[in-house]
Amino acid sequence: MVDQRRIDDQRWVDARVAAKHLGIQVRSLYAYVSRGQVRSVPGEAGRPRLYAFADLERLRVRRDARAGHGAVAAGALRWGEPVLDSAITAITPRGPAYRGRFAVELAAAGVPFENAAELLWSGYLPPAQVVWPRTAMPHAQLARLLPPTAQPMDVMPLLVQVAALADPERGDPRPDALVARGRSLIPLLAAALASGFPAAAVTRALGAGSVARIALRALDLDEAHAPVLDATLVLLADHELNASSFTARIAASTDADPYACVAAALATLTGRKHGSASLEVSRFADEVGAPDAARSAVRALRRKGQVPPGFGHPLYAHGDPRALPLLDAADRIGGKRARTLLAIVEATTDAKPTVDVGLAALVAALGAPDAAGPGLFAVARSAGWLAHALEQRLAGHLLRPRARYVGAPVA
């Protein structure tokens, strides 16, 4: 389980400091604690209780925002203080923790992706392999509409819309109904990894027994890599309020159906600053060309004050813990492109690789097309999107932030 003192590299302060930070009396602090607005833990060796500084700061930001301090509120949306409560994923120095379970540990233990998704949705980790049902849909007809050059991120939004049109009960608001649609939709997204979405390849892929194996069949790769791909999907399944998950929550807050939430998130994921970041990493590796050219290429970037694409994560000062398992897997599998990426990692001594670098290296090692990187990211993160959509629906309020107007004076 997650040690509260380690979440988000938080500071824990005593009651006097906490009350001073909020500008209140200590007895008022206890009221915030009793309402669950400030976390508190016992002090060590019999010392007084300690209070989470991040919770105190969040309360102060909300108070200032209500008082009209727009700049403070706006800053919260740029890697700033938390803007809403969630029980799904904590960001910690050891990487994301899903419902209290570290993603890197789940991946290392061989937990199947489907089981990790169920954990995100319900808080319960099934002990045995979960098998999701397959939903029939006219993918052959869809395949005829697509050019042979269609990429996974081109196909997935169309698949989602076709699945929505085929589901007359898609507006069912019950939590179980949303989860059921996730179980049927995610395997379809995995099948969309097939280059050009040929009907025969999609049919064969959907006959596999797990999402990881569906993805491997769709990519025409050896199913012996299923454990590695399962681990990859688990590591990517959620990451708190990333851009696409926040988009899914916004859609869910309007009571949009689960297909609409996934479609909105997919659109956000296509950006090169988010789910398509691994493509930028792969392009740089191709420019470098070979492992022995990595050091000089990185030095040239550093002289310009830049780092290679995919290095440095604002939430992980000491490195993204999700990257290492993927880089290790790429190293074991091998291949020139993977070795080039690993050489870039070794040469970049003053910045740490993110999960996007690890994903690009693994895709290269497997011999999959670069477009498989964003596709796998989407398959994995769809579990998180649906978890956030479910939580937001249960919260029951519309997400509608305010803007701080800085335009022409209003007459």
Sign of CA dihedral 62, 85, 262, 283: positive
Structure tokens at 182: 């996730």
If we measure between CA atoms, which residue out of 192, 395, 168 comes closest to residue 259? 168
Distance from the first to the final alpha carbon of the chain: 57
Outline which parts of the chain fall under CATH 1.10.580.10.
84-405
Q: What is the 3-state secondary structure (H, E, C) of 184-226?
A: HHHHHHHHCCCCCCCHHHHHHHHCCCCHHHHHHHHCCCCHHHH
Q: Which of 139, 239, 313, 388 is catalytic?
A: 313
Specify the pTM.
Answer: 0.81
Mean pLDDT of the 101-108 span = 98
In CATH, 84-405 is 3.90.1150.10: no
Q: How would you class 109 by CB atoms within 10 Å of its CB: exposed for 0-12, middle for 13-18, buried for 19 or more?
A: exposed
Higher-confidence residue: 88 or 72? Answer: 88
Q: What is the DSSP letter of 24?
A: S
Q: Which of 8, 14, 21, 274 is catalytic?
A: 274
Active site residue 397: no
Mean pLDDT of the 390-394 span = 95
Mean pLDDT of the 147-173 span = 92
Q: Do 327 and 345 touch, CB atoms closer than 8 A?
A: yes
Q: How would you class 97 by CB atoms within 10 Å of its CB: exposed for 0-12, middle for 13-18, buried for 19 or more?
A: buried
pLDDT at residue 82 above 70?
no
Q: Do 112 and 230 touch, CB atoms closer than 8 A?
A: yes
Band (pLDDT 50/70/90 cuts) for residue 390 is: very high
pLDDT at residue 379 above 80?
yes
Spacing of C-alpha 191 from chain mean position: 20
Band (pLDDT 50/70/90 cuts) for residue 350 is: confident
Active site residue 21: no
Mean pLDDT of the 234-253 span = 96
Q: Please report the pLDDT score of residue 7 as a whole number.
A: 42
* Strand intervals (E) in 21-156: 40-41, 50-52, 89-92, 95-98, 101-102
3-state secondary structure of 91: strand
Q: Do 383 and 346 touch, CB atoms closer than 8 A?
A: no
* Strand intervals (E) in 138-286: none
C-alpha 134/C-alpha 207 separation (Å) is: 9
Q: Which of 55, 230, 320, 356 is catalytic?
A: 356
Active site residue 313: yes
Question: Taking the CB of residue 24, how many other CB atoms lie within 10 A of it?
Answer: 14
Q: Do 295 and 340 touch, CB atoms closer than 8 A?
A: no
Band (pLDDT 50/70/90 cuts) for residue 387 is: very high
CATH number of the 4-72 domain = 1.10.1660
Q: Please report the pLDDT score of residue 68 as a whole number.
A: 52
3-state secondary structure of 5: helix
Q: Do 218 and 192 touch, CB atoms closer than 8 A?
A: yes
Outline which parts of the chain fall under CATH 1.10.1660.
4-72
* Average pLDDT for the chain: 89
Q: Please report the pLDDT score of residue 176 as a whole number.
A: 95
Phi first, then psi: what are they for 65, rounded to 5°?
-65, -45
C-alpha 122/C-alpha 275 separation (Å) is: 25
Most confident of 67-76, 159-168, 229-238, 309-318: 229-238
Mean pLDDT of the 310-322 span = 89
Higher-confidence residue: 9 or 326? Answer: 326
Q: Do 379 and 233 touch, CB atoms closer than 8 A?
A: yes
Mean pLDDT of the 343-361 span = 94
